[in-house]
Chain A
Amino acid sequence: MASATFSIWRGTAEQGKFFNYTTEISEGMVVLDAVHKIQAEQANDLAVRWNCKAGKCGSCSAEINGMPRLMCMTRLNQLPLERPVTIEPMKSFPLIKDLVTDVSWNFRVKKQIKQFKPRPPDVPDGSWRMQQEDVDRVQEFRKCIECFLCQDVCHVLREHHKHEEFIGPRFFVYVAALEMHPLDMENRVEELAKAKGIGYCNITKCCTKVCPESITITDNAIIPLKERVVDEFYDPIKRLFRRLRR
């Protein structure tokens, strides 16, 4: 049977290093299978978070050969196995142990986003009428599994640690889903420009590249939101018209 070597980051926020583990591999294995095998046979105390093994729970995010990916969706036959495969925890969040990071910052950020506020029902039975095409536009954003790989790769968080001033691509997707919703009446544009820091995004599209749900984060969520911010704050002619209308 073939074997492969995995270089896995072990340690805590204070200290840690890579450890190499060689294990047998078989056809169809994914990185998470290999990690589980290593955990069962060689490193019982290896910390790794996972749940569904089907790319749907968003728990098993890590960095494989330097790229943020889901361990359960990365097949070994997609990786060069001549050299050890590196597996590291995400870098934008505090490390708890080994491959497990504390992603609770994301949940705090989400709570601060203004919630869905639908217009009054369209018909007396309390329901609404929407066009399919309008719903289709926001449907893409609802595929998000909250794996936070996009947050991990975004250099504004990863390199520049702007966690206090920037909500990150995951939450621009979330805001886009609400803000572009045909029924929603809330206005989140001002907070996007100010507290949520959309101006920090320099549209380098790394978030789009790593999203396991293939959400076109930058082009379909962030840039349209940036354009709405321009409407509100940076377009002098629009501002003039708004003032005249008032």
Chain B
Amino acid sequence: MAQAAASTKRGLGTTERRDLWWVEPLAVGLGLLGFITYATWAAFQGNHYSFGPYISPFYSPEVFGDSQHSWFGPVPAWWPAFLPFSPALLILWAPGGFRLTCYYYRGSYYKALWADPPACAVGEPRGGYRGERSFPLIIQNVHRYFLYLAVLFLFFLAYDVWKALWFTDAAGAVHFGIGVGTIVLAVNVILLGSYALGCHSMRHLIGGRHDELKNAIFGRNCYNCVTVLNRNHMRWAWFSLFWVAFSDVYVRLCSMGVWTDWRII
């Protein structure tokens, strides 16, 4: 009968767990930081965000800007000179805020980036704790408003796919066509749609708030569809995160002439 250490010690990383508990938070942390770094860099570029009929999802809708996709023409003269301008900076706060306040991402970055807790049954670095009960995290409750914006953005992005079906030839004539870029942008809308429509706030709104599903606004089938998407919300969150960045990379590299956009039709 041998003896070992006492079990009451606490502190960051204290645990009797034997498995590789740190792998998941590490992977999540790297994934999120990688995305944030790339998205910030891409948003500040302000160039190479469109190519032919394609526009990068980071830059859509393009409220002001120089590409053919711009709604209201180039950068307005009243834009203060000291402020950096990029069409992405005008709009990215909306999808960014949506992801930042998403229930899934919240749970995962509280773990991966704030160690609260670092992993299940693993000791924490700080004793004090306020959770989402008071300022600042109580603000996370605005999530449903970001959802409304995200749904609006889905329409813009779907319209971009429609536009990505019409190519202008050298003579200036417009033809129907499908390029690899069209597919990239279409997949992006599908993934983002599956992510946003499976949102917990959507599930609540569409029927979850009622105790009797017959009262759901669009009927119980709609609620059930949202529930199916919601079950895999984490997966949709990651696939769509990866793909939206990839869509930007695709348009950017085509625009820079590094990649060639193959026409399928």
Contacts and interface: CB of A to CB of B under 8 A. Distances in A.
A18 B129 contact: no
B1 A19 contact: yes
Contact of B107 (A134, A156, A199, A205): A205
Interface of A is mostly: mixed
A18 B7 contact: yes
Nearest to B17: A66
B116 A182 contact: no
Interface in B1-46: 1-7, 10, 15-19
Nearest to B137: A202
A50 to B, nearest CB: 20
Given A205-B107, A234-B141, A159 B131 contact: no
Interface stretch (A28-36, A107-115, A219-227): A219-227
A199 B131 contact: yes
B135 to A, nearest CB: 11
B16 A200 contact: no
Given A134-B211, A134-B212, A204-B107, A17 B3 contact: yes
A202 B107 contact: yes
A71 to B, nearest CB: 15
Given A86-B16, A197-B133, A202-B132, A131 B4 contact: no
A68 B120 CA distance: 9
Nearest to B142: A234
Interface string A201-236: 111111001100000001100011011101100110
Contacts of A209: 120
B178 to A, nearest CB: 38
Contacts of B117: 155, 159, 204, 206
A223 B129 contact: no
Contacts of A158: 121
A133 B116 contact: no
A201 B131 contact: yes
A138 to B, nearest CB: 9
B107 A218 contact: yes
A153 B1 contact: no
A158 B230 CA distance: 29
Contacts of A17: 3-6
A174 interface: no
B211 A182 contact: yes
Interface in A55-103: 63, 65-68, 80, 83, 86, 88, 91
Interface stretch (B154-162, B199-207, B240-248): B199-207
Chain A CB within 10 Å, residue with most, of B107, B201, B231? B107
A156 to B, nearest CB: 7
Interface string B118-131: 00110110011111
Contacts of B127: 159-160
A16 interface: yes
A16 B144 CA distance: 49
A62 B50 CA distance: 58
Contact of B132 (A65, A80, A86, A200): A200
Interface residues of B, number: 52
A144 to B, nearest CB: 19
Nearest to A162: B129
A230 B138 CA distance: 10
Given A159-B124, A204-B111, A206-B121, A20 B129 contact: no
A147 to B, nearest CB: 15
A137 B201 CA distance: 17
A16 B3 contact: no
B211 A21 contact: no
Nearest to B141: A234
Interface string A1-15: 000000101000000
Contacts of B213: 131, 133-134, 137
A120 to B, nearest CB: 16
B133 A199 contact: yes
A229 to B, nearest CB: 8
Which 10 A-B pairs rank lowest in CB-CB distance, beginning with the nearest? A199-B133, A66-B16, A66-B17, A206-B120, A227-B204, A200-B131, A234-B141, A18-B4, A203-B107, A160-B129
Given A63-B121, A199-B131, A227-B209, 14 more contacts: A16-B7, A17-B4, A19-B2, A83-B18, A88-B7, A155-B116, A159-B123, A179-B211, A182-B211, A197-B133, A202-B110, A203-B103, A204-B107, A204-B116
11 contacts: A66-B16, A155-B124, A155-B129, A156-B129, A182-B211, A202-B137, A203-B107, A203-B110, A224-B204, A228-B209, A234-B141
